[in-house]
Chain A
């Protein structure tokens, strides 16, 4: 059965013009793509490739020059669609004179939520993004990471079906970044659709089901992450530690099948995994320190 499309973009073109109506930049050129319900979709591309423009067109913040956009079955300009959408902007464009509680209360009021609902939801979200100790501080006193967290909380205030995240891990430390990615996966497991744009490729690879790669406003690649990354001409085996003799035997077997061993060695963890493990250990055993080898000898 065909999965329902949450976002449909057809031949979308966006041209920025100057004050006199002259063409300045063609930010998007005939972009067409669908985002299915329940998937995590990533928009990738270098700076100026049209990711944020696409996001803003989806939200009705910009108007398309040509083409059609349907979000949750409604035109992008239809305000009522926003009832089921959550949006985390690239920078946390929030009201800096409000504190976390007031921020969430304000955005909750924009959804006509009752005071009780707002209070419960605010507490829940503040806990979710880990800002319990900063809930009464004005946002102007927040670090960039904290601002991202409260930005995320406001995007989730209405328990949205579709969540648009513009550079969600930007400004976050590895722990925060991991929390964000875990949260995206959790949202997906709850049946939500997430569209994120980022140029942090590892983050996208970790959480996205499908991706689109944009370059100079044009769609260059679209598909499932697994499919796109799969190297069809090579095979990867992971075994327990092999002796040099065993490696030689494997090479002989491979030669028998007209193949050769391209690389062998010990697999490495990602730096992110190492960092997270180290932090976790430090939390478990706060007194433990790294002692450099030279110091150990002396």
Chain B
């Protein structure tokens, strides 16, 4: 497991997200409005800004007076167009892949890995088939309407331009819902048939906590030790020292027992005890009561799951009081609705690696179908996002450009956003684009200092302007990683509503609103001639 479910606390994050959205969206609107006023003033004099204000009022009027019936009529047309233009042939490709995929999936693997491959394959196929089809349909619909001028027979009816944009988005979103739902069901049945006899489909519900490292002196540290791995997903604690990793889990209500699940990684500096794995101990901590409850140590199963149960009544030997004690997990150990568990490695000279999602409380499992169809919902949300961007961009550029624009946004949002942030924050070494070219041409290592001269200063100045542009783009380009929910299901987890679904939904809605505005004004302010 190498994915981290980023915490997204619905209400507090929504508040922050909403503020950020208002800031970005407000700035965007403000800049465009101010520019429109200034430009119109320059070209048309006083009547220019009056016309701009009138357009804004007209826009508000049009949005308020939109007719759901007309929107649905256009959505219906969009659906019929897609069906008659044979977009549903995508099912043939899907059926073909599903029929023969079983031959190529490795049946020699461990049973749980076979399940993981089957789930990943089914969900990836659904998204990889749905997304390109909807990307093309949404980016080409309006430009084609303008090219063949069929839009003339629509806009000469009492149809507002925002109704066209909304109808198109709704239509494509409905098609996507149909395609994704049918493929999802077929994929589900296919997965059930692919599960080996000695494996089962699980949907674990984890409760993740926060992670805090303590160094070998027992002091709080930002991270554990890096054992030389470039991938810094996991940090390591030193065995046989005061180093530990303290996980703090939220606890809602008392239960009879709590199931703990972990998957730690070992790093050995010596062979250690032959034939035995690393010895690990959990210590339950209540800092308010100054209570430390060490549990029995256990050997970790490397590359596999460790499962422990915490009973409500715990007996342990209190090393401070030098006596055997019995405590209640919820009355004595849980402190302010949170349970703190320190993980210690007991083998001297060995290191135990862990990340935040490596240790969690496992709530009762849900049916596999629940997690699976949440992931299918995630694919649909991503499709709706793509459709919104595609339809909007197609109102001001032609089909191929709209496709390229939307596709670029999708690629950057899914894979390159972090790189972009690293560039902006200076974490990525090598400077901006010009400096990178300079270093490439002069064969200069990115760790070397640049010479101090006027040319370099000008170059860095230009880079800073470009990075400022990138900073602006970074606020406009979404983080689409939360839409990809298949890793949860493939790794046997439920898809958390607050981490994945609500986050994706918030992003979709956050982009849908400006998309409608841009699409509306783009269609309103242009002459709908195929030129």
Residues of B within 8 A of A82 (CB): 156-159
Asked if A61 and B527 sit within 8 Å, CB to CB, the answer is: yes
Within 8 A of A (CB), among B468-505: none
Choose from B67, B73, B529 the contact partner of A106 (Cβ within 8 Å).
Answer: B73
Choose the segment among A91-99, A183-191, A196-204, A271-279 that binds chain B (4+ C-beta atoms closer than 8 Å): A91-99
Assuming the contacts A62-B529, A79-B159, A102-B80, asked whether A94 and B153 have C-beta atoms less than 8 A apart, the reply is yes
Q: Does A109 contact B (CB under 8 A)?
A: yes
Q: Does A85 contact B (CB under 8 A)?
A: yes
Q: Does B81 contact A (CB under 8 A)?
A: yes
Asked if A89 and B76 sit within 8 Å, CB to CB, the answer is: no
Q: Does B528 contact A (CB under 8 A)?
A: yes
Asked if A95 and B81 sit within 8 Å, CB to CB, the answer is: yes
Most-contacted residue by chain B among A87, A110, A151 (CB, 10 A): A110
Asked if B154 and A110 sit within 8 Å, CB to CB, the answer is: yes
Residues of B within 8 A of A94 (CB): 150, 153
Asked if A112 and B149 sit within 8 Å, CB to CB, the answer is: no
Nearest residue, chain A, Cβ from B154: A110
Asked if B156 and A85 sit within 8 Å, CB to CB, the answer is: yes
The interface bits of chain B over 70-89 (1 if a CB of A lies within 8 angstroms of the residue's CB, else 0) are 10110011001100110000
The interface bits of chain A over 115-146 (1 if a CB of B lies within 8 angstroms of the residue's CB, else 0) are 00000000000000000000000100000000
How many whole Å from B50's CB to the nearest CB in chain A?
Answer: 14
Asked if B158 and A83 sit within 8 Å, CB to CB, the answer is: yes
Q: Does B20 contact A (CB under 8 A)?
A: no
Asked if B158 and A110 sit within 8 Å, CB to CB, the answer is: yes
Q: Does B6 contact A (CB under 8 A)?
A: no
Asked if A61 and B73 sit within 8 Å, CB to CB, the answer is: no
Within 8 A of A (CB), among B149-199: 149-160
Nearest residue, chain A, Cβ from B167: A110
Q: Does B69 contact A (CB under 8 A)?
A: yes
Asked if B69 and A109 sit within 8 Å, CB to CB, the answer is: yes
Asked if B153 and A93 sit within 8 Å, CB to CB, the answer is: yes
Q: Does A59 contact B (CB under 8 A)?
A: yes
Q: Does A60 contact B (CB under 8 A)?
A: yes
Q: How many residues of A contact B (CB 8 A)?
A: 30
Choose from A59, A85, A109 the contact partner of B70 (Cβ within 8 Å).
Answer: A109
Q: How far is the CA of A89 from the CA of B85 in the complex (A)?
A: 24
Q: Does B148 contact A (CB under 8 A)?
A: yes
Asked if A79 and B158 sit within 8 Å, CB to CB, the answer is: yes
Q: How far is the CA of A109 from the CA of B155 in the complex (A)?
A: 13
Asked if B157 and A111 sit within 8 Å, CB to CB, the answer is: yes
The interface bits of chain A over 169-183 (1 if a CB of B lies within 8 angstroms of the residue's CB, else 0) are 000000000000000
Nearest residue, chain A, Cβ from B73: A109
Asked if B85 and A97 sit within 8 Å, CB to CB, the answer is: yes
Residues of B within 8 A of A158 (CB): 157
Asked if A110 and B73 sit within 8 Å, CB to CB, the answer is: yes
Assuming the contacts A61-B155, A79-B160, A93-B152, asked whether A98 and B69 have C-beta atoms less than 8 A apart, the reply is no
Residues of A within 8 A of B85 (CB): 97
Residues of B within 8 A of A87 (CB): 152-153, 156
Asked if A91 and B158 sit within 8 Å, CB to CB, the answer is: no
Residues of B within 8 A of A95 (CB): 77, 81, 150
How many whole Å from B436's CB to the nearest CB in chain A?
Answer: 33
Nearest residue, chain B, Cβ from A112: B69
How many whole Å from A129's CB to the nearest CB in chain B?
Answer: 15
How many whole Å from B477's CB to the nearest CB in chain A?
Answer: 27
Nearest residue, chain B, Cβ from A108: B73
Within 8 A of B (CB), among A29-88: 56, 59-63, 79-80, 82-83, 85, 87
Q: How far is the CA of A151 from the CA of B84 in the complex (A)?
A: 20
Asked if B150 and A110 sit within 8 Å, CB to CB, the answer is: no
Residues of A within 8 A of B159 (CB): 79, 82, 110
Nearest residue, chain B, Cβ from A62: B527
Choose from B62, B153, B160 the contact partner of A89 (Cβ within 8 Å).
Answer: B153
Nearest residue, chain B, Cβ from A97: B84
Q: How far is the CA of A242 from the CA of B473 in the complex (A)?
A: 91
Within 8 A of A (CB), among B118-171: 148-160
Residues of A within 8 A of B70 (CB): 109-110, 112
Residues of B within 8 A of A61 (CB): 152, 155-156, 527-529
Residues of A within 8 A of B150 (CB): 93-95
The interface bits of chain A over 150-167 (1 if a CB of B lies within 8 angstroms of the residue's CB, else 0) are 010010001000000000
Q: Does A215 contact B (CB under 8 A)?
A: no
Nearest residue, chain B, Cβ from A102: B80
Choose from B81, B148, B527 the contact partner of A93 (Cβ within 8 Å).
Answer: B148
Q: How far is the CA of A63 from the CA of B524 in the complex (A)?
A: 11
Asked if B158 and A111 sit within 8 Å, CB to CB, the answer is: yes
Residues of B within 8 A of A106 (CB): 73, 76-77
Residues of A within 8 A of B81 (CB): 95, 97
Asked if A91 and B149 sit within 8 Å, CB to CB, the answer is: yes
Q: How far is the CA of A87 from the CA of B150 in the complex (A)?
A: 12
Residues of B within 8 A of A63 (CB): 527
Q: How far is the CA of A1 from the CA of B76 in the complex (A)?
A: 48
Nearest residue, chain B, Cβ from A24: B531
How many whole Å from A80's CB to the nearest CB in chain B?
Answer: 6
Question: 12 A-B Cβ contacts within 8 A?
Answer: A56-B529, A79-B62, A85-B156, A87-B152, A87-B153, A87-B156, A95-B77, A102-B80, A106-B73, A106-B76, A109-B73, A112-B69
A-B complex: 7 closest residue pairs judged by Cβ atoms: A109-B73, A97-B84, A93-B149, A110-B157, A87-B156, A82-B158, A93-B150
Interface residues of B (CB under 8 A from A): 62, 67, 69-70, 72-73, 76-77, 80-81, 84-85, 148-160, 527-529
